């Protein structure tokens, strides 16, 4: 897993990471800003995601839509925001590299002069509509909001989703988001990865040419929060929604991204609910037929993660049956742990997934994206071998112990999502939760 790279930091603080891969005449341009929804505060949420949209709307020296000139040159491009970071990427033919660098540098250094009230209002409406489509009007769409608001106290930066609160977005002013941009979207809080058909020294020279003149700024202070202790008892919630089948969500606090135990919980998710031979799928869907689907995930985040199990009850079956079956399987796993063959299977899956995403130089999860992830979170672009080693050294006993300690039934948030007007379908003693 040796992915050779060269790293250079410009005088203004921008990290430049270069990986040469001359197999195909393309270059991936990948920019990460170390800012996400965790850098927001109550009453001012949704700003990071809003800027993801605004940064595609033109900057001082190209005050038009961002996609057209790059797509005309044969590029693919996109961006995304999560709780911990914002990224933008382009994959361009080698001869269009300078165009991509010019476009990226102009929106990093010269976005605000082109940011008007009209653009701001337009993109705020786009985000509010995205919120309606993906959360408010989607079946089970508000469950994630209910889970994180229960897992974290109101002043914790993971208490809200990246999309932000609708009222906060409507109340935001242009000056609010200008201040947010000046704090976080500058070279000192960014990392540029270039991967593909380019010489490393040439790439660094081009980065200096296009980004070197942008004024630097101090790196923002890291967000400091006390680790939430989690519920001291089984917390039961119920949410009414426009759905046909009731669904159960369980969530526990788990180790932070790259922390000790994070890899174990990743593998636990696969062991419990990845594929038709996994513990929960086999028991709930195939054998007992009390659920139509089941999933598990380790939601890794920089300040602390959460582990989640989700199952939809089959027609005519109850959430109480689903709940008992899940807890029974987790208890059995916590008592005896996985088998050698189970561990071999999930390790093979993890390694295959790890290698698969490195087959490309760009896009979400390609080599340039992974170099930037390691650089942003660990200040070490070459973490590939050690990242994979986290999974390879996991033992049967470690998995059993993490399940026993981390997935205790009296330390969870459990949410019943039921059809409107049918609160009786929720688990007993569930209290209604309101999210918007």
- Is residue 347, in this structure, part of any structural domain at all? yes
d(CA 391, CA 406): 18
Cα 361 to Cα 377: distance, rounded to the nearest angstrom = 20
Question: Do 284 and 385 reside in the same domain of the chain?
Answer: yes
Among 196, 211, 226, identify where a domain stops.
211
Q: Are residues 182 and 316 in the same domain?
A: no
Within a domain: residue 308? yes
Q: Where are the alpha helices (DSSP H) in 152-235?
A: 166-171, 174-184, 200-211
> Do 246 and 393 share a structural domain?
yes
Both 147 and 265 in a single domain? no
Interatomic CA distance for residues 380 and 63, integer angstroms:
35
Examine the domain organization and report whether 207 and 260 are in the same domain.
Answer: no
Residues 13, 106, single domain; the answer is yes
b/e code 23-39 from CB counts within 10 Å (16+ = b): eeebbbbbbbbbbbbbb
CA-nearest of 5, 403, 417 to 203 is 5
Give the chain's domain count. 2
CA angle 314/335/398 to nearest 5° reads 105
The span from the CA of 358 to the CA of 341, in Å, is 26
Distance CA 70, CA 75 (A): 5
Q: Phi and psi (nearest 5°) for 89? A: -145, 150
Last residue of a domain, one of 211, 245, 270: 211
Which domain, by its residues, includes 153? 6-211
Q: In degrees rounded to 5, what are phi and psi of residue 54?
A: -60, -30
Q: How far apart are CA 5 and CA 22, in angstroms?
A: 13
Q: What is the pLDDT of residue 233?
A: 77
> Do the domain assignments include residue 136?
yes
246 in the same domain as 193: no
419 within domain boundaries: yes
Look up tokens 């960014």; give the residue. 190
- Domain shared by 186 and 308, yes or no: no
Q: Residue 9 region, left (φ>0) first, then alpha (ψ -120 to 50), else beta?
A: beta
What is the model's pLDDT at position 232?
Answer: 67
Q: Are residues 185 and 302 in the same domain?
A: no
Torsion of CA 71, 77, 79, 85, to 10 degrees: -140
Instruction: Clarify whether residues 161 and 289 are in a common domain.
Output: no
- Is residue 343 in a domain? yes
Owner of token pair 């939601």: 299
From residue 333, alpha-carbon distances to 185, 326, 328 in Å are: 45, 11, 9
Q: Give a yes or no: residue 13 inside a domain.
A: yes
**Do 102 and 182 belong to one domain?**
yes
- What are the angstrom distances between the C-alpha of 226 and each of 79, 157, 233, 406? 30, 11, 20, 18
Q: pLDDT tens track of the chain, all 436 residues?
A: 789 999 999 999 999 999 999 999 999 999 999 999 999 999 999 999 999 999 999 999 999 999 999 999 999 999 999 999 999 999 999 999 999 999 999 999 999 999 999 999 999 999 999 999 999 999 999 999 999 999 999 999 999 999 999 999 999 999 988 999 999 999 999 999 999 999 999 999 999 999 999 999 999 999 989 877 667 678 999 999 999 999 999 999 999 999 999 999 999 999 999 999 999 999 999 999 999 999 999 999 999 999 999 999 999 999 999 999 999 999 999 999 999 999 999 999 999 999 999 999 999 999 999 999 999 999 999 999 999 999 999 999 999 999 999 999 999 999 999 999 999 999 999 999 988 7
Determine, yes or no, domain membership for 220: no
71's tokens:
């797509």
Residue 206 belongs to domain with CATH number: 3.30.830.10
Same-domain check for residues 310 and 169: no
């Amino acid at each position: 897993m040796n992915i050779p790279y060269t790293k250079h930091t410009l005088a203004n603080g921008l990290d430049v990471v270069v990986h040469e891969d001359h197999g195909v005449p393309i270059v991936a341009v990948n920019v990460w800003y170390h800012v996400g929804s965790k850098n927001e505060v109550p009453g001012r949420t949704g700003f990071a995601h809003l800027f993801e949209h605004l940064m595609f709307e033109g900057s001082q020296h190209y005050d038009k839509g961002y996609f057209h000139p790059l797509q005309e040159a044969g590029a693919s491009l996109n961006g995304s925001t999560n709780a911990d970071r914002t990224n933008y990427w382009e994959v361009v033919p080698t001869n269009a590299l300078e165009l991509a660098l010019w476009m990226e540098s102009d929106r990093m250094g010269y976005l605000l002069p082109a940011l008007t009230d009209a653009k701001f209002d337009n993109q705020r409406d786009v985000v509010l509509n995205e919120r309606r489509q993906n959360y408010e009007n989607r079946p089970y769409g508000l469950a994630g909001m209910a889970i994180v608001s229960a897992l974290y106290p109101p002043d914790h930066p993971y208490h809200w989703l990246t999309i932000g609160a609708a009222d906060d977005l409507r109340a935001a002013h242009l000056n609010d988001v200008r201040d947010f941009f000046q704090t976080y979207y500058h070279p000192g809080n960014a990392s540029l990865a270039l991967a593909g058909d380019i010489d490393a020294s040439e790439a660094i020279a081009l980065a200096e040419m296009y980004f070197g003149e942008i004024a630097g700024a101090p790196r923002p202070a890291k967000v400091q929060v006390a680790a939430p202790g989690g519920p001291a008892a089984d917390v039961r919630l119920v949410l009414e929604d426009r759905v046909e089948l009731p669904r159960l969500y369980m969530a526990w606090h788990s180790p932070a991204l790259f922390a000790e135990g994070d890899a174990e919980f990743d593998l636990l998710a696969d062991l419990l609910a990845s594929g038709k031979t996994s513990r929960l799928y086999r028991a709930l869907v195939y054998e007992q037929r009390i659920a139509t689907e089941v999933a598990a995930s380790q939601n890794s985040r920089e300040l602390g993660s959460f582990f989640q199990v989700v199952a939809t009850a089959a027609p005519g079956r109850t959430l109480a049956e689903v709940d008992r079956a899940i807890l029974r399987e987790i208890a059995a796993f916590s008592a005896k742990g996985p088998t050698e063959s189970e561990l071999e299977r999930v390790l093979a899956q993890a390694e295959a997934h790890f290698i698969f995403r490195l087959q490309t130089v760009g896009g979400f999860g390609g080599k340039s994206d992974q170099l930037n992830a390691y650089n942003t979170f660990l200040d070490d672009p070459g973490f590939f071998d050690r990242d994979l080693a986290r999974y390879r050294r996991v033992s049967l006993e470690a998995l059993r112990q993490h399940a026993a300690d981390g997935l205790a039934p009296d330390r969870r948030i459990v949410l019943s999502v039921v059809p409107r007007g049918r609160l009786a379908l929720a688990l007993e003693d569930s209290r209604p939760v309101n999210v918007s």
